[in-house]
Amino acid sequence: MIADPHVCRPWVAPGRMRAIIAQVNALDADMIVVAGDVLPDRNLACQHLKAHEIVPLLRPLRAPLGVFSVLGNHDWRDCRQAMETGGAENSVVEAFSGEGMALLRNESRQLSHLGYPFWVVGFDSQIPLRWGQKPFVRPDEAFAQVPEGAPAILLAHEPDYFAKGDTRPILQISGHTHGGQFVLLGRRPMTPSRYGDRYSIGHIVEGGRHLIVSAGIGYSGMPFRFGVPPEIVVIEVVRHDATTTHLAEIEEASCND
């Protein structure tokens, strides 16, 4: 899993992104997830790249079960086309479509691993294009094709949905927070969540439900991380019995240039 690349020069330049993609492929994962925010933060001092320059960098990703992406808030709010059309059009969506890559927007895909079926469900961003508007996420629409009780992994850029207590996914995978981007006296004051540090980073378990939040790769606001290095997250999900799947292990791989 990778999240929040925010590709731009010089911070996460195309060359660095290609090296990260090579690292991900070298892990030989069964499935790869890109958890949103490929576009850079418009407030970050950098050379901003367009969606059609960024999304093709993801094309070399390879995994037997597929590569699945979702949109993040910056893929909407920092998309000029989306802002100019009130969300009717989005150049990131068009770029994914043009590359033939799976972008899950309130929809699901049924997969099978070693003969065991499961579902991957992708949410659109939970943050509206402008304050006061409705968010893009539609949970019931996303889960509409998933049979009741079927194992489902939820890809949701923002982790805050986990607080709603939805029991349909066995695991939620998120980014967005950058792990707070820096740690100060053990706290993460920049975590962009209404719940503060509660869902800032790592493996969170509440009521038997599992959430994994990645610190991501890129930067937001300022090109600075302290105590929160960029990461590639490796998640191992194992079958527990005839009907249940549970999270077994999380490993983090460094994200070297």
d(C-alpha 120, C-alpha 111), whole Å: 7
131 Cβ partners below 8 Å, 6+ apart? none
Give whole-number Cα distances, 238 to 50, 175, 244, in Å.
38, 22, 9
So what's the pLDDT on residue 257? 44
Contacts of 14 (CB under 8 A, 6+ apart): 7, 49, 53, 57
Q: Six-digit token pair at 187?
A: 């706290």
- List of the chain residues with pLDDT < 50: 242-251, 256-257
**What distance in Å separates the CA atoms of residue 200 and residue 140, rounded to the nearest whole number?**
25
Which contacts qualify for 103-107: CB closer than 8 Å, 24 or more apart?
103/69, 103/70, 103/71, 104/68, 104/69, 104/70, 104/142, 104/155, 105/70, 105/71, 105/136, 106/136, 106/137, 106/138, 106/139, 106/141, 106/142, 107/141, 107/142, 107/145
Q: Domain map of the chain by residue range?
A: 8-254
Identify the CA nearest to 46 among candidates 14, 23, 19, 71: 14
The phi, psi pair for 84, rounded to 5°, reads -75, -25
Q: Amino acid identity, residue 247?
A: L
Torsion angle in degrees (nearest 10) through CA of 9, 10, 15, 17: -80
CA-wise closest residue to 154 among 97, 197, 213, 95:
213
Going by C-beta distance under 8 Å and a sequence separation of 6 or more, which residues neighbour residue 85?
A: none
Burial state string for 239-249 with b = 16 or more CB within 10 A and e = fewer than 16: eeeeeebebee
pLDDT for the residue numbered 241: 59
For position 247, what pLDDT does the model report? Answer: 42
**CATH architecture of structural domain 8-254:** 4-Layer Sandwich (3.60)
pLDDT at 254 (0 to 100): 52
